[in-house]
Structure 1
Amino acid sequence: MRLAFSIAYRFLKSGKSQTLLIILGISIGVSVQVFLGSLIGGLQTSLIDSTIGSSPQITVLPDDETSIKEWERVVYEAEISSDEIINIAAAADGTANIEYGNESDPVLVRGFNIEDGDRIYKFSEGLMEGRLPGQKDEAIIGMALAETTDTGINDRILVTRPDGNTSRLTVTGFFDLQVASINESWIVTNLETAQDILYLDKSVTSVEMQTTEVFEADNLARILEYTISDDSLKVENWKDRNRQLLSGLNSQSVSSYMIQAFVLIAVLLGIASVLAISAVQKSKQLGILKAMGIRDRSASMIFIFQGFILGVAGALIGIMLGFVLLYIFTTFAVNPDGSPVVPIYVNIFFIALSGLFAVSSAVIASLIPARISSRLNPIEVIRNG
């Protein structure tokens, strides 16, 4: 083994141009994989965070009734159903109108235990001015709604239910959750206030929650369905409500994998062809080595070691080159505020796997010249020069 490795290294040193060419090809292939995989990963992570990250991923809703009366039990059953279910918040929702001047606009009144709701919707992070509601009859509204109604901090807004009953709320802050429909229509208050406005007594309209693994929401929702004791409730998850988004993400991933696969195939064929030519070029040396007693297995191992050395060198250089490409992209492809157009998601496991695939491809490609070398007849090689 040591002799075969030593010969392989000497063969690579003697053909420096070929060696550098192969390493360059592997490096480019690996760098494309690292760059493309990190870019697609960042794009998908950013898309999921912006659409799903600050919203409930599993929701328990009443099936026949208009509200959930024993919602505390639902919260408890959700907590014990799985450790992967987190950030559970009971919500009291209902439509109403906000009255300002001589005009009226439809709004959605949403009541939470503010701390629980904040863990899901990140109200505190999106708070542009003021503070979160702390007492009864306090609320925060979206920036767009505040501008439309010309509302300021500590102003009182008039909310009218469809049945004509009215309530007045003190605005303690304005939020911007980066979603136009939310900023234009949500009035967020505490649970008790919303229950009073919407005549829900002590009940809620839904129980919302998030998961530690976003893409496991459908499986966790099925587990929760078996855990919940109230058969009149139904459990929904974000994957069922966002099938078009999932289809787009899957198509994106498939296209990325196809590009990476074709890059690997191109690298593999390039290595195989160059090493096969090398085997023919080195046939005289191999013939002499075989005449001196080297075995067919050792002759084959020479090219397998060559493939391994080339693969390791190409993978390491390719990973470094991939990080250089990522740095260049994040430096020049930026938004007006200086943030990257697409945030890069660096997955160490994926990068290590890309390097491993490159080494494996190089070793597999070396099997062709290895087979050629094992079938060489030393007498015929030496006789024919």
Structure 2
Amino acid sequence: MRLAFKIAVRFLKYTKVQTIIIFLGIAVGVSIQVFIGTLIEGVQNNLINKTIGSSSQITIASKNDDKAIASWESKVTKIKELKNEVKGISAAADFPAFVKIYGKEKTYPILLRGFNFEDADTIYKINNNIIYGKEPEFDNEVLMGTDLQKESGAKLGDTVTIFTPQGIKRDVIITGFYDLKSSNINKSWILTTMKTVQDTFNFGDKATSIEMQVKDVFNVDGVLTDIKDKLKDNNLKITNWKETNASLLSALSGHTVSSVMIQVFVLISVILGIASVLAITVLQKSKQIGILKAMGIKDRISSLIFLAEGLILGVIGSIMGILLGLTWMYFFTRFARNQDGTPIISLYVNYKFIMFSALIAVLSACIAAIIPAKNSSRLDPVDVIRNG
């Protein structure tokens, strides 16, 4: 193998221009794979982050008439045992209500949501999205969304009144304003402590939902099954983000299919290019191969020469392609930007995907060298030397 490798290197050095063209061909093919794959993965991550990245990906609710979950703490404890699958979990108590701003005649429909904010921050990143003010620390303190604040004219420190459908009134103090990047949420959610909601709506110590995020959003069905096995409660309804985001799931699937198709066609073109060039090389080097065989080189070694050429071309071409693809992606994220200066698509480097692309390219180059290798082993040294 060492002899075949040395001869392959000499053959490649002898035809430098041809070798460089092959390297570039492989590099361009691999760079397209890396660029397209990285770009689509970046698009998918952006879509996921904007739609479900800061929201509940699995939600547990009650099938009972009161819509309340009893002993929710024990259920949360059981789910936390799935620490390799669940990365954030928060119980919530919420109920529709109305809010009236002091000095205003109009009332606004809202959803009063009570959290343990430390837990809720693992999902909604509330603390990071407070525009001004702070999270509620005591009962009767609330956060209001920026859209509702603009519409109602509420100010920090204002006392507002919550009206329930049962006719209960409760005065609460605004401690801050948040922006969760969703107009519907910013306009309808008023956030407070769980105890405030529980006392206002006479829930006792019950919750209305248990929300969570998972480590692998595409494995959410498997996590949901594990949760059902853990809880074993037929009175609970468990849903996931796929059920409420069918259009998003369809878009992600479409991206994946298109990416795979592009990469397959690129691989086919790379294989055909390498095979055709190496086949021509066999004809060009037939006299040298004949002389080598006459000197005692076996057919197996002559075949290994071209397999070694394919391996060298694949490895060096793949390295060049990875560097070229990442360079393209870097400049794309540098120049394709939103009006606020942030990248339209964030650079997301999946090292496993890149190494997989490189491995496929190397294997493709080796496969492309099989036919030329077989042709070289069939050459008769006497005929080659006699006929030139």
Give TM-score, length-normalised by structure 2.
Answer: 0.96
Is residue 3 of structure 1 aligned with residue 3 of structure 2? yes
The partner residue of 1:187 within 190, 193, 196 is 190
Displacement of 1:229: 4.2
Partner of 2:158: 155
The answer as to whether partners of 2:136 and 2:143 remain within 8 angstroms in 1 is yes
The 5-angstrom pairing of residues 10-159 of structure 1 reads 10-65=10-65, 66-81=67-82, 83-100=84-101, 101-159=104-162
Q: Distance in 1 between matches of 2:63 and 2:374?
A: 68
Task: Measure the CA separation in 2 of the matches of 1:193 and 1:328.
Answer: 51
Greater shift in the superposed pair: 51-60 or 309-318: 51-60
1:28 CA drift (Å): 0.3
Q: Percent identity?
A: 48
Q: Secondary structure at the match of 1:50?
A: helix
Larger CA deviation: 125-134 vs 285-294 = 285-294
Distance 1:231 1:336, change over 3 A: same
CA distance in 2, matches of 1:240, 1:113: 26
Q: How far 1:77 moved relative to its partner?
A: 2.2
Q: What residue identity is the alignment partner of 1:381?
A: V
What is the distance in 1 between the residues matched to 2:233 and 2:4?
71
**Displacement of 1:81 after TM fit?**
4.8
- Alignment-derived partner of residue 302 in structure 2: 299
Could you give the per-residue CA deviations for residues 104-144 of structure 1, whole angstroms, max 9, x where no partner exists? Answer: 22111100112111221110010000000010100001001
Shift of 1:338: 1.8
Does the Cα contact within 8 Å between 1:77 and 1:227 map onto a contact in 2? yes
Q: CA deviation at 1:281?
A: 1.2
Greater shift, 333-342 or 264-273, is seen at: 333-342
| Cα deviation 1:24-62 (Å, max 9, x = unaligned) | 000001111111111111111121122222112221110
Q: Equivalent of 2:325, from 299, 322, 327?
A: 322
Q: Which residue of 2 aligns with 1:264?
A: 267
SS of the equivalent of 1:74 reads helix
**Aligned with 2:168 (options 165, 168, 191):** 165
Letter in 1 for 2:152: T
What is the CA–CA distance in structure 1 between the aligned matches of 2:168 and 2:331, rounded to whole Å? 59
Q: Secondary structure at the match of 1:53?
A: coil
Q: 2:87 and 2:341 mapped to 1: Cα distance?
A: 33
Q: How does 1:250-289 map to 2 (within 5 A)?
A: 250-289=253-292
Deviations, residues 133-192 of structure 1 (Å, cap 9, x unaligned): 010100001001111110010001122112332221100000001111011111000000
Count of aligned residue pairs for this structure pair: 385
Amino acid at match of 1:64: N
C-alpha contact (below 8 Å) 2:330/2:347 kept by paired residues: no
- 8 Å contact kept, 1:95–1:107: yes
Indicate if the aligned counterparts of 1:41 and 1:344 stay in contact, CA closer than 8 A: no
What is the aligned counterpart of 2:236 among 209, 233, 236?
233
Structure 1 distance, partners of 2:334, 2:89, is 39
| 1:209 aligned residue | 212
Structure 1 spans left out of the alignment, 5+ residues = none
| 3-state SS of 1:204 partner | coil
Q: What is aligned with 2:387?
A: 384
Cα distance in 2 for residues equivalent to 1:124 and 1:308: 53
SS of 1:371's equivalent?
helix
Q: Which runs of 5+ in 2 are unaligned?
A: none
Which residue of structure 2 lines up, in the alignment, with residue 242 of structure 1? 245
**Cα distance between partner residues in 2 of 1:42 and 1:229:** 38
- Residue 270 of structure 1 deviates from its aligned partner by 0.3
Decide which moves more: 221-230 or 327-336: 221-230
- CA distances 1:334-353 after superposition (whole Å, capped 9, x unpaired): 11222111001101111111
Further displaced range: 224-233 or 307-316? 224-233
Does the 8 Å CA contact 1:81/1:227 hold for their aligned counterparts?
A: no
Q: Which residue of 1 aligns with 2:375?
A: 372
Does the Cα contact within 8 Å between 1:109 and 1:187 map onto a contact in 2? yes
RMSD between aligned residues: 1.3
The residue type paired with residue 60 of structure 1 is I
Does 1:355 find its partner at 2:358?
yes
AA aligned to 2:16 is K
- 4+ residue segments displaced more than 4 Å: none
Secondary structure class of the residue paired with 2:203: coil
Q: Which moved more, 1:131-140 or 1:105-114?
A: 105-114
**CA separation in 2, counterparts of 1:229 and 1:13?**
69
CA contact (8 A) 1:137 1:169 kept: yes
Deviation at 1:271, TM superposition (A): 0.5
